Structure 1
Amino acid sequence: MLTSLCLDAGVDAAAAQSVARGPLPLPPLPTPSVSLSLPPAKPPSVTPPPLKPPTVKPPTAPPTAPPTGRPTPPKETPPANGTPPQVGPTRPDSGSPIVSPGSAAAIIDADPGADLYPQPPTDPAVTPQARQVAALTDVQHRIQYLHNILARTRADLTRVQREPDPVLQLLTALTTGAAPTSDPDSATALAAADSVNVVDTATGRAAALSAAISSGQGELTHRQQEETRLRQEINRRARLTTAAARPSRKPAAYRGGPLSPPLSGRLTSRFGTRFDPYYHRWQLHAGVDLAAPTGAPILAAAGGRVTRAGWYGGYGNYTCIDHGRADGQRLSTCYGHQSRLLVSPGQQVRTGQLIGRVGSTGASTGPHLHFEVRLGGRPVDPLPWI
């Protein structure tokens, strides 16, 4: 089971001491626009089509007699073939519509740190462990922000570098001696160049964009190092938590020890910020992806109570199970992109119980299980827990 799910053991002592002092502050990154009296930055070269406001149809009037028993599931079910619906009416079982690929570009342009996937509610970070996990989430979203900003700024720089720049051409000619200064035309052009603000030329804009890229790349490297330190400490604590089981009066609750693998599958994508293969924008990948054929059984990683089972935006058919507390925080596991849901909210499940089937629903490019471990509602790397 999951022979490829392994991590290098050990923690760098210096990294742990750095974590103990708390995460570094997150100063705001100046918008990578031209700061030297440049005109407003132009939008990216590829402009997404304008978004049409969703038209939500009012629900059908209920029958005169109140229904009895379990509510009948809606007739409209998420597609099993992984083809997502466009942004539109909210699905009645989720409250979270899926973001279409065409809309993702506009959303990220407006907010490079935005989540294209819905995120469950989080608990207040009142313990040192919880504050550490919250700091990791903040740093990862900052990394996502920087990646998206840098990608957009590099695209702007490429476009600006292709623009003709008469001042650059003149300066190049004068530097190489190709244009004699005695030429009346050259002298006129030189006088014109002296009266032009070079910053407002393609050369000036390229220089400003290059400086912004250099600054953003420097912060990105710093944040990635900070993320590594936080993850090492959080993973170390996870391995201590899973080292031994503890007695419990509730047989369905988590009693320590490693979580049970949800299925036997090949690890295809790890936890952390990545270039999303569906939206083609940088996003925080809140779990790990395990490749498996459509219909493969998904098993509960631990006993607990089902808190969510339904359609949840880009996660498609999504199940979350509350397992109690671990390391002083609420421990839950979540399972995305299922083809079938076999449990319902409020249901108690046992470790290894069948809860669903592998699929490719939501923002998915093929059949697989998206598996998450969350502490206090915030995602952490699942691998040290399995």
Structure 2
Amino acid sequence: MGKEQRRLRRIKSNRIIFSLVIAAFLFLPPKVFGLELQGFSDITYTYAWHKKDLTDPNTNGTFALGELDLFIRENLSDRVDFLTEFNYSADPNTNGGSVDIERLQIGYLFNDALFVRAGRFHNALSYWNMTYHHGRQLQTSIERPDFLRFEDAGGLVPTHLVGLWVGGLFDTRMGGLEYDLMGGNGPRVQNVDPATTSGGSLSPNSTGDDSKNKAATFMLRYTPRAIRGLGIGISGNIQQLRFYESDGVTEVPIVSPDGSTTSVVNQQIYGVNLEYLAHNIEFLSEGYQFRDYNYHGQSYLDYVWYAQIGLKIMNRVTPYGRFERWTVLANDPYFVALATQDMSKTVAGLRFDLIPRSSIKAEIRFINTPSDNYNETAIQWAFAF
């Protein structure tokens, strides 16, 4: 069976699965046999001006369908639970669509201090990733911070992991201590242009690992009793990455601007996060250090971070702002493969909650990179069902 036949067969299978999920949403009550069915989606208008890249459709002012995110959750017993999440997104190249299994996990709860799960999860490396998932209605802003976008949307941090997940919560006199440990398939970088050795994107290797070196993630988060709404966390991730053309088979050695070449990157990511969610105040911040090592042992240090603050007024209106910053080395092969450069981004926005399950958001964004400085405005209608 050829590559194109396999691709079409996979698309057909995904559509059949997605159709069955849609049928469940349409014809089953909200809870049947213990199943909990929920979903999220949105519609967004974006206009970019002063942008040099006129091939970006946002320079024309663009309406876009958001992801249609559907998930099913069930407690199979008082100790065993199951969750699966399907995501349908439009393909800008074909005006068609594709279906991805974003999460599929089975778990066993021993007690509050210990659970074990197997499957595909959202990576515990990021607080935002574990809190808001794919539901834009859940988050205050229109978009995630750019470096926390999902793999196929140009993110820099691995947001999914396939393998095992162990975690739990210790409730102490001083506060709650939550921990997460994950291990499984490491990601790859795919769709790399062999001519430029750039332009690739992360892929979580859901069906098989291309390396014997497994990925590992940890997260520790402390919520003190003395300060309600405060959360402090540290996290880390270790993985090995290889680089491939669009066929997913042919490896591409990455050539950095200084002429160094590598086919493998050993990567360590370390993060800190701080949140305060109380008294109608929302403050979120996360920062990460990337330690990348090429095949020859050369090392590179890169940094990304964001801080966001919002204030809810009259329980319906939330003005907010966010600043993001990337500082990456030009010769780091990981960021060369992802076509990433330094960036700063300032976002100012306003969210209005129509009802608890639907909101309208408006933003203005100021983006600065070494190659371009431009602005965007965006309006989004998000909802949950």
Q: TM-score range by the shorter chain?
A: under 0.3
Q: TM-score normalised to the size of structure 1?
A: 0.22
Name the larger-Rg structure: 1
Bigger helix fraction: 1
**Which structure has more strand as a fraction of its residues?**
2
